[in-house]
Structure 1
């Protein structure tokens, strides 16, 4: 198999893949109106694709297009070689499209609505590979109705393979014809013909400059249709530009060129349709971006409310978390002087309460004191459980009042309407439904709040009670204890044995021990306060982080997850359109185009 054949097969495969991806794009459901509009366009395009596939072996449909009185019918007669359609001398304009075909041509394969044509069968060599349609004028002055010339013209143009744009010195600047040509040129090859060469000036260069911005114009033919018909009727061969035009339609648009022409038409049609869809989507995308910004504002609002609510709950139970933290630190440190002081500080309330046992004078008093102590212990446990459950309730609720929820919904409904997401805006939820939505999302993150607190306490205890910190506080406390022991030992061993003047008592008095005890108590209290302040700062920062983390996870989807999902889907569809446009452009640039024909850029 030749390399050229392999290249053609590969190109066909790329076109098939492009069509398949277009079908996937159309099949996807979207609540966004602009995207639905684009899907409708692509759906109509795919219908045209199937029509072109069916017509691959059918003759090319050549359609004349031009203003009133430019000589379209005369050009058709000259191309066929005989008078098969009436010219402007006999009636003002062509009203019903005239289809001129060879007697052997199977017209059913063309896919044309034959009932809307005036059919003419002529045995002419040029009609073996093409059929010619003489169309109504696009610049007619009649009102645009279902039976108007313009309506008939627009029904014919989608079936066109080659468009003969016919004009004259007087008509080539017509704005009405130019506007209709912009739509007619999509998905077909173009040939440009200036008629009335017998008495008009040659305006081809100026016409080419006007067309060059919008169309590729390889050549403009300047013909005298009446003379060409007379030459053929007299048995003479036409000459000049008309001969080249007739040769192009007779020999160069043969059966071998049909596939090339229709393939180029197909890719042009796909390219134009996708480009139009991209422009339409891009024009409406800012409204979606505004909607996403509003959703982010609502999510941030909910996040801030949840963070504040959780932080308040943590602060309300801060004493319990601090006691847990001290317990965790002392367990990590084991048995030491400073850890013992921390245990005393942590259980100071219980120690003071226990001291009342020494004041009991009877078994009844001891029983009452025991009941009080048991009640205090049960109360502390109850407070811990309430702290955990209050945190969990705060994390599982929204922290927003009903009026704020309703306000958020109303504001969002306006953005949904502006974004043309009418399906979502019409399905507005009640406040109760919003809360049910919140309860559904709750299970996504909220496990055991107590476990999260325990993890936070363990982390703070680990980071705030390392070896260096422990050595520092133990050293500070032991330095005072060592100083006191030094004074006591020195007084007992050295001063009592080697004192010169035994008249003075070498032993330390009781006042020293009292003062040392008071200073030890104050020094220990200062160190414990410094350490607990350090722990409290770490616990508070960690609590704020935990509150923000819980709120962030709680509000990961916000109150309107359906809207957020639709916005993500819209961006994905827009990216799909971009990829389809790039694919269509790539294949369109690489395809071999018939060099003799013009086309829309």
Structure 2
């Protein structure tokens, strides 16, 4: 018994958690019309769910439902065992709904609009755990104007827990009644009853086949209401299907089962609402996916254009990245004759590069000058140039006005088709698009700078290996040793022992000239080696940059709205799946029918 109670409490907590998740989903902001429509629908569904929850312990409301002349009122009288409502077969007899309750049941506790019904109270045993509602006919000819029978019927159906769907041999294929039942059956259990057993043929098998696609039909009762009434009045228990129908109402809808029935109705109603919301969203889902494709294509085109421009600038500004690479090589190389030459060469180059910084406007120049100057000085100068250089850099990155305007026109059409809010693109001037394009380029530039830093670091390590260094060091060192030996020999040996004249300025000028020439040749050979490796890596870099997934494109607000809409769609599917699982575990009534899942 304790385990059973724990399982019931666990089920209740799961239903409560599901309700909270649905309410949270309803309260989420959204720019997608399909989600907003679904939220409005679910808000109404949740209102009805709350009504059922409040009435969880109240007697179940069992309402008759069927076409004109099917014997609904006669069936109600037979169930109660006395005349509680008017009967008739030729025309609608029930003009106002009749609510039949036990004398100890307070009609106000049921939550029904009592001003819309006539209340009758009796002492019948059947009415201790259920109340009966004799409803107007759904196939009335007076239409659904306010105050009509059909209008009253639609007003009362949301308060019903179980429908006694009554039909006859002549009425069971009525399209009008079937259409109304589709709406009424959501959130209700259904008991199918064929009346007029004393006059009509048994069409239950054919009726079940007709209903099978839309409803679960465990059983159809074939009753003679007139005979059942007579048996009740004579003090006998009704025989046949009438007796079994009364037993079903007494046992399956008693106090011990009413909570379970209402929980099942809550889940079925919620599932119906969620399924309809899924259909609403699915209708516009392809358009939303198309926007995603267009935005991704635009980002790819932006990446391609900027990558091509980046490659052109990198290959055209080889002195800039050559100096960065030489500086990195010097750090790896340490102190040696040729590294000293490279330091002098790079120091002179830095003096020239510092003047270029003031004219640096392009993506490649900004990416390559990053570590040439003092970081602090470079950052301060770049901030000063930001306002005047952004639009110039934009033009150089090939993000021209025609591309921006074309992108906006294409996106605007897809936004309208998908049903997204027009506010996402309202007041988007060309200047706004330009500045957004600058932000996109800045993100691209940051990624490019990081990758260039990695390339330069890798190339510096590759060109600092000892078998590469040894050739340059040996040549330069051999010349320096020769010059120093010649000067030393002349000063310490020849001039002191043999009184030979010291070397003249002409020697030193010639030696210096040859030193410069040798250093120049070595530098040219080394820088060409660097250039060959870097050009290959730069081309590979730009190929990879084309496939770079930018954090956002020209329309970040739209991209965020699309991501939110997709997330909300996934959450809705998750809610529907959870509701279906709970409904399956709770709503298995072998003797009560309902809508198919």
Give the count of matched residue pairs. Answer: 542
Tell me, in whole angstroms, the C-alpha distance in 2 between the residues paired with 1:549 and 1:86.
Answer: 83
> Which residue does the alignment assign to 2:413?
414
Matched, 1:571 2:570: no
CA offsets per residue over residues 313-367 of structure 1, 9 Å max, x none? Answer: 33442223324434544564456676688789889xx9xxxxxxxxxxxxxxxxx
CA change 1:401–1:175 in 2 (3 A) is: same
Report deviation, 1:190.
Answer: 0.9
Tell me, in whole angstroms, the C-alpha distance in 2 between the residues paired with 1:548 and 1:173.
Answer: 68
CA change 1:439–1:209 in 2 (3 A) is: same
Contact in 2 for aligned 1:388/1:450 (Cα 8 Å): no
Matched, 1:325 2:325: yes
> Which residue does the alignment assign to 2:551?
556
Contact in 2 for aligned 1:187/1:267 (Cα 8 Å): yes
CA change 1:314–1:172 in 2 (3 A) is: same
> Which residue does the alignment assign to 1:489?
none
Tell me, in whole angstroms, the C-alpha distance in 2 between the residues paired with 1:415 and 1:323.
Answer: 48
Tell me, in whole angstroms, the C-alpha distance in 2 between the residues paired with 1:263 and 1:29.
Answer: 29
* Structure 1: gaps (5+ residues): 351-375, 486-518
Secondary structure of residue in 1 paired with 2:164 = strand
Secondary structure of residue in 1 paired with 2:359 = helix
CA change 1:47–1:258 in 2 (3 A) is: same
The structure 2 residue matched to 1:591, chosen from 564, 569, 586, is 586
CA change 1:423–1:122 in 2 (3 A) is: farther
Contact in 2 for aligned 1:317/1:387 (Cα 8 Å): no
CA change 1:576–1:227 in 2 (3 A) is: same
CA change 1:14–1:557 in 2 (3 A) is: same
Tell me, in whole angstroms, the C-alpha distance in 1 between the residues paired with 2:345 and 2:443.
Answer: 40
CA change 1:538–1:29 in 2 (3 A) is: same
Moved more, 391-400 or 199-208: 391-400
Report deviation, 1:202.
Answer: 0.9
Tell me, in whole angstroms, the C-alpha distance in 2 between the residues paired with 1:90 and 1:536.
Answer: 101
Contact in 2 for aligned 1:70/1:171 (Cα 8 Å): yes
Moved more, 153-162 or 455-464: 455-464
Matched, 1:178 2:173: no
Report deviation, 1:211.
Answer: 2.2
Matched, 1:470 2:443: no
CA offsets per residue over residues 147-187 of structure 1, 9 Å max, x none? Answer: 34333222221111110011111222223322222222111
CA change 1:241–1:380 in 2 (3 A) is: closer
Tell me, in whole angstroms, the C-alpha distance in 2 between the residues paired with 1:238 and 1:480.
Answer: 124
Correspondence list, 1:484-563, <5 A: 531-543=526-538, 555-563=550-558
Report deviation, 1:29.
Answer: 1.1
> Which residue does the alignment assign to 1:285?
285
Contact in 1 for aligned 2:187/2:269 (Cα 8 Å): yes
Contact in 1 for aligned 2:404/2:434 (Cα 8 Å): no
Q: Which has the larger radius of gyration?
A: 1
Give the TM-score of the pair, scaled to structure 2: 0.80
Secondary structure of residue in 1 paired with 2:39 = helix
CA offsets per residue over residues 557-586 of structure 1, 9 Å max, x none? Answer: 111111111111112212212221222122
Moved more, 309-318 or 412-421: 309-318
Secondary structure of residue in 2 paired with 1:386 = coil
> Which residue does the alignment assign to 1:580?
575
Moved more, 114-123 or 199-208: 114-123
CA change 1:128–1:423 in 2 (3 A) is: farther
CA change 1:388–1:287 in 2 (3 A) is: closer
> Which residue does the alignment assign to 1:161?
161
* Structure 2: gaps (5+ residues): 367-385, 484-513
Report deviation, 1:146.
Answer: 3.0
Correspondence list, 1:216-365, <5 A: 216-326=216-326, 328-329=328-329, 332-333=332-333
> Which residue does the alignment assign to 2:433?
434
Secondary structure of residue in 1 paired with 2:120 = strand
Tell me, in whole angstroms, the C-alpha distance in 2 between the residues paired with 1:4 and 1:336.
Answer: 85
Contact in 2 for aligned 1:54/1:109 (Cα 8 Å): no
Report deviation, 1:28.
Answer: 1.0
> Which residue does the alignment assign to 1:94?
94
Tell me, in whole angstroms, the C-alpha distance in 1 between the residues paired with 2:299 and 2:535.
Answer: 25
Moved more, 329-338 or 142-151: 329-338
Secondary structure of residue in 2 paired with 1:86 = coil
Report deviation, 1:295.
Answer: 0.9
> Which residue does the alignment assign to 1:382?
355
> Which residue does the alignment assign to 1:78?
78
